[in-house]
Structure 1
Amino acid sequence: MRNSAVPARSYYAPRGGLPPQTDLITDRAVFTDAYAVIPKREFSDIVASRLPFWEGTRAWVIARPLSGFAETFSQYVMEVLPGGGSDRPEPDPSAEGVLFVVEGEITVKLGGASRKMKPGGYAYLPAGSTWSLANRGRSAARFHWIRKAYEAVDGIDAPDALFLNENDIEPIPMPDTGGRWATTRFVDPDDTRHDMHVTIVTFEPGGVIPFPETHVMEHGLYVLEGKAVYRLNQDWVEVEAGDFMWLRAFCPQACYAGGPGRFRYLLYKDVNRHPRLGGFGR
């Protein structure tokens, strides 16, 4: 459970709009063979999408499967206006989902029960589940929606639905870091029913990943708070709250928190499964 001494968390949420005509075109946006960075300025009105069977809603699609790049997941930042939502949100019965609320309040109905989710709220929605979502509040709600085709394993049950809140969970410090680097886990890492993890990673000012992680897991990293300098492949990249990073498998990655406050991000990774042989989608 949460320690009352832990400061309250903050969550960056995009607002849309359009940069003024006086702005320079030059930006930090980059797409390489190993990684992509989508700065917060790119979350403009003209790049938002509308989705079937969603009312009063727009979505910024910030990751999707691409051959030769990140192949396991898609990620949206959803904005649902008061009275909006969907009774048919997920069109793919093979898709599991994670919702993470950064602003406002949503009501998710699953299995006949309705649950209100506020900032910091996390939901795991199993593949094949029937759920709906509504904004019954007076202001816009914004949340992340991460989707992945669930990889079932013979002899292992599918995971159950989960509704949690980050603010009720104590972050787990990484060993030998003096508490400067910690992870908030919503799922037990030893639970092999799950084939993806969505966590919150927190660095105190000056905290570092002290080596270039190079591994099979794909990543989506949305910066919730603070700023940092990331080492991605052979490049140094500055990132701040509202930016998104998309990392291909085996892209070397490290960082140090570079601001006066905490650096925190929402992290996706695929886990607990054998790599597919013979090509993606086999």
Structure 2
Amino acid sequence: MNAAWFMVVKGYNSRMDSLSVSRKGVSRHFLPGMLFALFLCLPDIAGAGRKGEKTSTVDEMRESITFSVMMKAATQDDDTAAQLWLADMYFTGKGGDQNYAKAREWYLKAAQKQARDAYYNLGVMYILGKGVEKDPEAGAAWLEKAALDGDVEAQYFLGQMVFNGEGVKTDQEKAAYWWGMGAARDEKKSLYNLGLSYYHGHGVMPDDVRAVDLWRRASAQGMKEAQYNLAVMYDEGRGVPQDMGKALAFFIRAGEQGHPLAQVALGWIYETGRSGVPMDILEAIRWYEMAAAQGMAEATQRLQVLRGTAGFGMAQ
């Protein structure tokens, strides 16, 4: 291992595992028909309480009241937020049986009234194949409607899809465009990926200064991957004047959050006295142990060398 080992993480996120239904709709909409709906369903609620047929606990009664209120608001008042709430309940199965078909039905009703969350969640359903035949192209179309309406999660995931060619044609320039929209709203994942685009020149002209600026903004939001990349840039003097003290500070911030490459880097720095810090084998071992516990082979190798005996005191 040597100084050249330190390098910016080159990989973009290539999976859509974190794509999930957004449940922000109710909080973003005023429900004008809610009080009226509550009065309409009071007789049913009271009857259920007296007879004990529909509810047996306080929690069940509360859920029954909420569902009754939302159903009447969604149907009688055509309330968008109530429709989104019902769709969310059917999608997640909370408060009753999971039913993707009903979830899609309510999302479509809300989408007809230009509800951004409905666009996004319909995109999720088509991309993941929940309640519909899996169709990433249709999913991307719904996400695009949400993205154009300002949804930062949709902007980020659209960038992912077009960069990786997931159900749509690979287009690095378009990926940078969508991440740029998210970055303009200070969304940290889009900031990070757009930084990678400028670092590598994917879809944009290479620009280390721009990459550093984007990663600095993501780092300020606690993103450990951005902190690690900033450390490397300061270490190498790319996009910024070389500053080993700032490099060390960013390595530590990322390492303390569990970034394995930062932990290996810190182990090497303290083992060799690099970056102007005093050599400290115990501190090196501490960082190597954390990295080894995450499966970093480099850390395991250095621990074996430092201890002289393979496996002695190794983190399990």
**TM-score scaled to structure 2, two decimals?**
0.24
Higher relative contact order (CA 8 A, sep 6+): 1
Larger radius of gyration: 2
**Between structures 1 and 2, the one with greater helix share:** 2
**TM-score scaled to structure 1, two decimals?**
0.26
**Between structures 1 and 2, the one with greater strand share:** 1
